[in-house]
Amino acid sequence: MLQSHQKLELENKCLIEKVVLEAPFRYSVRFHDEACFIYFLKGVATINSPVEQIHIGPKEAVLLKCGSYFADLLKYGTSGEYEILVVHLYPAMLRKIYKHEIPSFVKHAENKSFIRKAGARDFIQKFVEGIHYYLDNPALVNDELLELKVKELLLLLVQTGNGLSITSLFSELFTPREISIKDVVNNHLFSGISVEDLASLCNVSLSTFNRAFQNLYNDTPASYIKMKRLQRARDLLSMSTLTVSEIAFQTCFNDVGHFSRSFKAAYRCSPTAYRLAIKKG
């Protein structure tokens, strides 16, 4: 549930915003033509992109490139309050700010991920503290100041980005990437997300996703994913010392009883019996 919302606009677009949320909350977004810097002042979250899943905690920041995402915000400890600062990065706006300093926003980028964690917490935290002052005193803010704050953020990201340049940062954030159903499925087999979530990350409807999946795998998404998870569980029973409960959790079965029944239906013995048979063999 949204508790409060502050924002600063540049050229009639939301540039900077701070939201206070009460968990549980799911944030789902599609960045068609923008990148985004997100800083968590309070709260812990799991952010899903088409090809990865990362965990983020208080005083951590991420850069999200153009793409589809969702984040599950859950209660942490005794608190369910989240404070999140967001800076939107629009290509047209950055072209204007940088004018002829940047040759192109769309170049080949080697980094295939959608999410980059921002380093140097102290530098970023000081930047965020400065933004707070302007959010609380919007009458002091003008377009020139906002443009300077964008440049400041990007320079901080470059300085803490392990050899990034402004050009490579822009290339990384704004290079379009083709999303394949196979990539999304393979990277989220053990993320514990639903078929509906997979369709959303692929930017297609559930019915379109199901049809395309059937054509690719000659199986339904639920059946295929369950089979892959059970195969992984079988490997873990053979090669690891994890308990049956731990293996169930690692292969996205939230209920051990359901895991045992599913395993027995697939392999005609319980997980425990399978492990014992492997040891004897």
Which one of 174, 195, 212 terminates a domain? 174
pLDDT value of residue 226: 96
Q: Could you tell me the mean pLDDT of each successive run of 10 residues in the chain, 281 residues long?
A: 91 93 82 87 89 89 87 75 92 81 53 74 88 94 94 85 66 72 92 90 92 95 96 94 94 93 96 91 67
pLDDT value of residue 103: 47
pLDDT value of residue 85: 95
Same domain, 211 and 116: no
Same domain, 154 and 244: no
Query: C-alpha distances in angstroms, 268 versus 10, 189, 274, 276?
Result: 63, 23, 9, 14
Same domain, 122 and 50: yes
Same domain, 90 and 139: yes
Same domain, 156 and 212: no
Q: State how far the Cα of 1 lies from the Cα of 205, in Å rounded to an integer.
A: 26
Supply the CATH number for residue 61's domain. 2.60.120.810
Which one of 135, 154, 174 terminates a domain? 174
Q: Strand order in 115-118's β-sheet? A: 2-10, 13-22, 81-89, 35-42, 60-64, 115-118
Sign, CA torsion 68/26/226/76 = positive
For 12-43, give the secondary structure using H, E and C: CEEEEEEEEEECCEEEEEEECCCEEEEEEEEC
pLDDT value of residue 93: 87
pLDDT value of residue 70: 84
Q: State how far the Cα of 242 lies from the Cα of 236, in Å rounded to an integer.
A: 7
Count of the separate structural domains present in the chain = 2
Same domain, 160 and 30: yes
Provide the β-strand partners of residue 118: 61
Same domain, 196 and 159: no
Q: State how far the Cα of 212 lies from the Cα of 14, in Å rounded to an integer.
A: 36
Predicted TM-score (pTM) of this structure: 0.80
pLDDT value of residue 141: 94
Q: Which two tokens stand for residue 237?
A: 């029973």
Look up the domain containing 124 and give its range: 2-174
Same domain, 150 and 202: no
Supply the CATH number for residue 244's domain. 1.10.10.60
Same domain, 116 and 217: no
Q: Which two tokens stand for residue 252?
A: 């996205």
Same domain, 239 and 157: no
Which one of 108, 143, 174 terminates a domain? 174
Same domain, 232 and 125: no
Same domain, 101 and 219: no
